[in-house]
Amino acid sequence: MTLPVIKKSMTTFRCTAILFDLDGVLIDSTRSVDRQWRVWAREQGIDEEKVIAIAHGVRAIEVIRAVAPQLDAEAELRRLEAREANDKIDVAVMTGAAELIRAIPDGRWGVVTSGTRLLASARLRLGGLPVPKILVTAEDVANGKPHPEPYLRAAKLLGVKAEECLVIEDAPAGIRSARAGGMKVIALASTYPASKLGEADAVAVKLNRIQISPNGTNTLMVNIH
């Protein structure tokens, strides 16, 4: 009896450096983020669903300005970020994140997040992940995602051409940011379903389905299984 041959598809990218979004990519914090935004929305008498619909993947201050222009956005941001940084419930490292980072040579990766530096550092440490030398946060840019500035800044700090960077993102705003900067994007179907991530060059269902290996030169081989 001849057994059927099962073919497994694989997508391969070549790049010089890799840029990660943080929440929903390296750190699983979606439930914590949702909870803190809902608490804030209820306190302000704002429709929770209206806030949640735009809260992922963009800077918090822009969300606040959009849904509550009458408030002091800077003051609300400080209050919100303090709560989020101290929230350790439902915050954990994504499966495969530590292994993926260890596979990348030093100086060839960075994190680009819409969160603040305080929040990003707190979540990386909570997850036991290293705080990278290249960490672009909300305070570092004039224009947040989906504008290309955050990812272009990270590429510049790494000393790598934008088109030589590969981005791993979980939100449509982040995908648009990277694509607008001329970068290839792998979307992770963690926060949003794959049907919402069609602007990416490829979609991975889990982070541990992505494998990274240097090929002996300046090129990194990135495979999605």
DSSP 84-118: HHH--TT-EEPTTHHHHHHTSPTTSEEEE-SS-HH
Q: Considering only CA atoms, which of 67, 31, 32 is closest in space to residue 49?
A: 67
Beta-carbon count within 10 A of 107 CB = 13
Q: Which one-letter amino acid corresponds to residue 6? A: I
CA dihedral 208, 9, 177, 53 (to 10 degrees): -70
- 127 vs 19: CA distance, rounded Å: 18
What amino acid positions are annotated as catalytic residues?
A: 21, 23
- 111 vs 20: CA distance, rounded Å: 5
- 3 vs 46: CA distance, rounded Å: 59
